[in-house]
Amino acid sequence: MGKYYNLDNMLKPKSVAIIGASQNPEKVGHIIMQNYFNVGYSGDIYPVNASALKDTSILGKKAFKSVLDIKRQIDLAVIAIPAKFVLQALEECGKAKVKSVIIVSSGFSEVGDAALQDKLVEVAKRYELPVLGPNCLGVMDLRSRVDTMFLPTFKIDKPSIGGVSFASQSGAVGSTVLDLISHENFGLSKFISYGNAMVIDEADILNYLGHDPDTKVIIFYIEGVKRGKKFIEVAKEVTKLKPVIIIKGGITPAGSSAAHSHTASLAGSYAAYEAVFEQYGFIQAKSLDEMLYYAKIFVAQPLTTKKRVAIITNGGGVGVLAADSLYLNGLDMAELSDEAKKALRKVMPPIVNMSMPMDMAGDADDKRFGAAIDVLSKDPEVDALMIISLFQTPGADSRVASTIIKYGTEINKPIVVVSPGGSYAEVHNNMMESSGVPVYPSPEDAAKALAALVKYAKYKQRNEKVGKAAKKK
C-alpha cells in the first residue's frame, strides 16, 4: 500500500460480493445487485445474505451466508446492511482478503455514533482494507460497467461515457449532479460518492482521478477535508495535469454548521479554503450550475492564456449583454485585424457593422455564421469566440447548429455558444453539446466559463514555466 489508496479494485473489479443482497426488491442490496445486471457488468457477482440457506439463490445467483463462504478472490465487497451489522461484515471482508470495500450503509458519525465508526476504521487499518464510505452511494464507472448506486434508475438520466469524473461527499448532490450531467450533454468517466470519508478520503480520490487516463476533468463536491496537508500536496500535482473544479459546501457560518450535522465535517473558514483553492489552481464554482458550466468548457475546448474574445450574434440586444459580460468577467473584446474586416465585408450584407459585437442581423443563416466563424478562427487578433445563436430568429435552424459544430470541433480556439430558449432552441443545443460545443443559457454564464478557462490556462502555464526553470537548475 502506497501513500494513497488505489481505487482500481473498486472501479474495475473482476468480482463483486454484495453483502445485503436480498430477494426483496425494496432492499438496497437487491437494487444494487439488479443494477450490476442492468449495466451489463461482466465479472462475477456473489450475493451475500446472513439468512441465506444452502440452496438460496438471489436474482439467479447462489447466495452465501458470509463473504467467508465464497472462497474465491473478491475484488470488491459492497456492504448494504443496517449499521449494527456492518462491523462484523467488515471484519469478515478482512479475513476473506477482499481487496476493497464500499459501505453504503448510514448510521455512523453523521448521526453522532463516532465510536462505531472508529471501530470500523480500526478493522480497515488492521487489514489494510481500502474502504469507501460509510454513508455514501458508492461508485459508477460507465466504461467498466460498475454501478453501486441504489437509486431508482428511472428518476435519473444516465450520462454518456466521457471525460469528466465527479467525486461527491454528499450522495444527494452526487445523484442530482449525475442527472444534470446528462442534461448538460457531456460524458462521464467515473462517479465516486464517498460520504463520511472514514478511510478513503478526498486526497486519495483526487490522487486517483488525477492519474486516471480516462479522466480529463475532475469535479468535486466537498464539505470538509480530512487531511488538509495531504489534500494540498495532491492538488499541487493534479491541478497541473488537469482542471479540477471544486464546489465547497459550508463556506458560511450557517452552511458550516449544516455541514457538520450532515457528514460530521469540520468545514473550516471560507477565507482559508478560498486561499487554498486560489493558490493551488482549483477552479472554484459557486453553485451547482456553475460547476457544470465549467466542466463542459474544460472537457471539450482548448485552453488559451489570452483573452481577446470575438462576439458574433444574430440578435443585437443579446450582443450588448454579451459585451457587458466580457467586461464584468475581466475578458477583453477582440478588435478584428484589417484583413479579417476586409474578408468579412465581402461576405456580410451592407447592414452588418464590422465592429464587435458583430450583429449579423436576425436573418443570419448558416452561410453567414460559417463565414464569420471561419474568418475569426484565422484572425490572430482573436483568442476565443462567443457565438450567440438565437434560434427564435428567422435564419437560425439546424444548419446553423451543424456549422457551429463543424468549426467548434475543428479550430484551435475555445468556442462558447449562447443559446437561450425553449423547446426549439433546446433541440439544437443538445445537438451542439453532444458534439462537444458548450452551450450556455446567457452571455453571463458563457463569459464566466471562458474567464475560468483563461485563468486556469495561465495557472498551468505559470507552473509549467516554474517546473522547467526548476529542472534547468
From candidates 178, 375, 376, 416, binder to a second copy by CB under 8 A: 178
User: What count of other Cβ atoms lies within 10 Å of the Cβ of residue 442?
Assistant: 16
Q: Does 327 contact a second copy by CB under 8 A?
A: yes
Within positions 391 to 410, which residues make up the interface with a second copy, using CB under 8 A?
391-394, 396
From candidates 69, 97, 160, 172, binder to a second copy by CB under 8 A: 172
Q: Does 43 contact a second copy by CB under 8 A?
A: no
Question: Pattern 148-167, binding to a second copy, x per CB under 8 A?
Answer: ---xx-xxxx----------
From candidates 176, 337, 409, 430, binder to a second copy by CB under 8 A: 176
What DSSP designation does 64 have? B
From candidates 103, 386, 445, 449, binder to a second copy by CB under 8 A: 445
Closer CB to a second copy, residue 123 or residue 376?
376
Closer CB to a second copy, residue 100 or residue 196?
196
Residue type, 179: D
- Please state whether the peptide bond connecting residue 357 to the residue before it is cis, i.e. omega within 30 degrees of 0: yes
Q: How far is the CB of 188 from a second copy (least distance, A)?
A: 13
Q: Which stretch binds a second copy (CB under 8 A): 123-131, 196-204, 315-323, 449-457?
A: 315-323
Within positions 124 to 153, which residues make up the interface with a second copy, using CB under 8 A?
151-152
Q: Does 425 contact a second copy by CB under 8 A?
A: yes
E strand or H helix at 215: none
Binding residues for a second copy, rule CB under 8 A, total 83
Closer CB to a second copy, residue 22 or residue 170?
170
Task: Identify the residue whose cell numbers are 454501478.
Answer: 147
Please tell me the distance from the alpha carbon of residue 159 to that of residue 181, in angstroms, as a whole number: 6
Q: How far is the CB of 356 from a second copy (least distance, A)?
A: 8
Q: Which stretch binds a second copy (CB under 8 A): 119-127, 298-306, 416-424, 452-460?
A: 416-424
Of 253, 414, 439, 444, nearest in space to 334 by CA: 414
Q: Which stretch binds a second copy (CB under 8 A): 12-20, 49-57, 61-69, 441-449?
A: 441-449
C-beta contacts of 280-283 below 8 A and 24+ residues apart: 280/232, 280/235, 280/236, 280/239, 281/235, 281/239, 281/240, 281/244, 281/456, 281/459, 281/460, 281/463, 282/235, 282/239, 282/244, 282/245, 282/246, 283/243, 283/244, 283/245, 283/246, 283/452, 283/455, 283/456
From candidates 53, 115, 271, 351, binder to a second copy by CB under 8 A: 351
Contact 202, 224 (CB under 8 A): no
Please tell me the distance from the alpha carbon of residue 169 to that of residue 112, in angstroms, as a whole number: 17
From candidates 196, 314, 403, 429, binder to a second copy by CB under 8 A: 314
Q: Does 37 contact a second copy by CB under 8 A?
A: no
Within positions 245 to 304, which residues make up the interface with a second copy, using CB under 8 A?
247, 249-255, 257-259, 261-263, 286-289
Please tell me the distance from the alpha carbon of residue 270 to that of residue 272, in angstroms, as a whole number: 5
Please tell me the distance from the alpha carbon of residue 318 to that of residue 440, in angstroms, as a whole number: 13
Helix segments in 309-442, DSSP class H: 316-328, 338-347, 366-378, 398-408, 423-434
Question: Pattern 203-242, binding to a second copy, x per CB under 8 A?
Answer: ------------------x-x-------------------
How far is Cα of residue 225 from the mean position of the Cα atoms in its chain? 18
